[in-house]
Amino acid sequence: MLLFPASGKPEGIVLLSLSFSYLRRAMTVAKKEIVMSGIRPTGYLHLGNYFGAIRNYVKMQDTYECYFMIADLHSLTTHPDTRELRDHVHRVLAENLACGLDPDKAALYCQSHVPETSELYLYLNMLAYKGELEKTTTFKEKARLQPDNVNAGLLTYPVLQTADIILHRARYVPVGKDQEQHLEMARNFVKRFNHRYGEIFPEPIAFNFGEELVKVPALDGSGKMSKSENQNATIYLSDDDDTIRKKIMKAQTDSGPKEPNSPKPAYIENLFLLMKLVCDEAMVTKYEQDYNQCTIRYGDMKKQLAEDMVRFLQPIRRRAEEIRNDIRYLKQVMEQGAEKARASARATMELVRQAMGLNYF
Residues making contact with ligand TRP (CB under 6 A): 36-40, 71, 74, 161, 164-165, 173, 175, 179, 182
CA nearest to 234, candidates 65, 223, 342: 223
CB of 16 to ligand TRP, least distance (A): 43
Q: Would you say 173 or 338 has its CB closer to ligand TRP?
A: 173
Q: Would you say 177 or 303 has its CB closer to ligand TRP?
A: 177
Give bridge partners of residue 66 from the DSSP assignment: 35
CB of 37 to ligand TRP, least distance (A): 4
Distance between CA 157 and CA 147 in Å, rounded? 16
Distance between CA 91 and CA 321 in Å, rounded? 9
CB of 200 to ligand TRP, least distance (A): 18
CB of 181 to ligand TRP, least distance (A): 10
Q: Of the residues 177, 215, 227, 303, which is catalytic?
A: 227
Give bridge partners of residue 38 from the DSSP assignment: 69
Distance between CA 249 and CA 39 in Å, rounded? 30
CB atoms within 10 A of CB 14: 15
**Do 97 and 327 contact (CB within 8 A), yes or no?**
no
**Do 202 and 162 contact (CB within 8 A), yes or no?**
no
CB of 204 to ligand TRP, least distance (A): 8
Q: Would you say 39 or 316 has its CB closer to ligand TRP?
A: 39
Determine whether 246 is an active site residue: no
Kindly calculate the radius of gyration of the chain based on its CA atoms and give it in whole angstroms: 24
Q: Would you say 138 or 243 has its CB closer to ligand TRP?
A: 138
Determine whether 227 is an active site residue: yes
Q: Would you say 111 or 304 has its CB closer to ligand TRP?
A: 111
C-beta nearest to ligand TRP: residue: 38
Q: Would you say 192 or 227 has its CB closer to ligand TRP?
A: 227
**Do 341 and 69 contact (CB within 8 A), yes or no?**
yes
CB atoms within 10 A of CB 175: 24
Strands laid side by side in the 34-39 sheet: 107-110, 65-70, 34-39, 172-173, 205-206
CB of 99 to ligand TRP, least distance (A): 16
Q: What DSSP line would sit under 80-140, residue for residue?
A: ---TTHHHHHHHHHHHHHHTT--TTTSEEEEGGG-THHHHHHHHHHTT--HHHHHH-HHHH
Residue 205 sits at φ, ψ, to 5 deg, of: -130, 155
Distances (CA, A) of 326 to 112, 122, 238, 323, 350: 22, 36, 17, 5, 36
Positions annotated as catalytic residues are 142, 224, 227
